[in-house]
Amino acid sequence: DLLLRKKKQLRLSSAERDTFGLKIFVILVWNVSLFDSWYKKSAQRLMRASIPSTSFKTVIPSSIIIMELKFIILTFAVAMSFLLSFSTVAAKADGESCTVNADCDKSSICSGGTCKYLCGPELYNCSGKFCIIGDHSSTCDSARTFRRGEDCDIDKDCPDNLSCNTATKKCKNPCVSPCAGTGEKCFVINHKPTCKLVSPFCFDDNDCADCLMCSKSTCVSPCTDHKCSTGQKCVATDHKASCSPIKAANTTSAATAAAAAAAAVVAVAAADLFELFEVYDVSLLEQLSWY
């Protein structure tokens, strides 16, 4: 039961850790005692067969003492490794139940019986400035502007489908490298990229791409039945549909871009023409006089 709970990374209370630690220690001592008894009898039989009776009584005590010391050291070493392993337990994730701040990650506190991120929307109070995390505490950095969903210090500052780039302090899509497996696609689950085999069937939204949702065991676009008002378009993000304003086309910028493109084409054509004249070693005026 203990190993199963450890494998599932379930948190143990102090009383449970003490009880399980004592059980482990008792079981180890009991097993070592049985092995110790068997080993003593085997050693005695071997020594009686190979050692003269005159020296048998002097050899046996020292051999048994050394053997027992080794078993005592081994017992405590194994028992302590188990106890230390279970004394350090993974902190609970945000949203899980808690009783004290120590039950949660250092970036969170226990509020209302659940772990909550100190710089999350519920507890954020820095008025557009960066929220700096301490040991179950937070302060505001007035020198840095914070925009939720864009700026970050850690992954928790970003939406679940993005991760924090520690170099740029910006939220980004962690699915930058293609998946190695055939038919696999990169999905972002809790800020982490995960390669999963793409299937038209699904059990929940995590089985679908970020721009799709699971409906009736099939991945579909959440914008299919989502209506937006005039001047807005539907945008599918994090398996949800939302309406975003449509940016008006900038005709001046478009005309400027077209003119720049035309000028670039003319410049390239002129460069090619001059290069052709140089190849044939004919002056520009002579070439033009032919026309």
Do 101 and 133 belong to one domain?
yes
Domain count, the chain: 3
In a domain, 9, yes or no: yes
| Cβ–Cβ under 8 Å, residues 17 and 86 | yes
Domain span at 122 = 91-139
Share of the chain above pLDDT 90, in %: 6
Domain boundary among 72, 87, 102: 87
In a domain, 10, yes or no: yes
How many other C-beta atoms are found inside a 10 Å radius of the C-beta of residue 244? Answer: 11
pLDDT greater at residue 115 or residue 68: 115
Read off the pLDDT of each residue in 138-166 and give the average, rounded to a whole number. Answer: 89
Rounded to the nearest integer, the mean pLDDT of the chain is 71
| H/E segment holding residue 284 | helix 284-289
Radius of gyration of the chain (CA): 36
In a domain, 177, yes or no: no
For residue 152, the model assigns a pLDDT of 92
In a domain, 55, yes or no: yes
Do 82 and 116 belong to one domain?
no
For residue 84, the model assigns a pLDDT of 58
Q: How far is CA 56 from each of CA 36, 62, 67, 191, rounded to the nearest angstrom?
A: 20, 11, 16, 69
Domain boundary among 45, 66, 87: 87
Do 6 and 75 belong to one domain?
yes
Do 20 and 62 belong to one domain?
yes
How many other C-beta atoms are found inside a 10 Å radius of the C-beta of residue 92? Answer: 17
Do 25 and 79 belong to one domain?
yes
For residue 170, the model assigns a pLDDT of 92
Do 7 and 66 belong to one domain?
yes
Angle at which helix 53-87 crosses helix 14-50, to 10 degrees, equals: 160
In a domain, 188, yes or no: no
In a domain, 187, yes or no: no
Read off the pLDDT of each residue in 270-280 and give the average, rounded to a whole number. Answer: 44
Q: Which range has the worst mean pLDDT, 3-17, 158-172, 201-215, 219-233?
A: 3-17
Do 77 and 133 belong to one domain?
no
Residue 88 has pLDDT above 60, yes or no: no
In a domain, 268, yes or no: no
Do 204 and 233 belong to one domain?
yes
In a domain, 164, yes or no: no
Read off the pLDDT of each residue in 72-88 and give the average, rounded to a whole number. Answer: 62
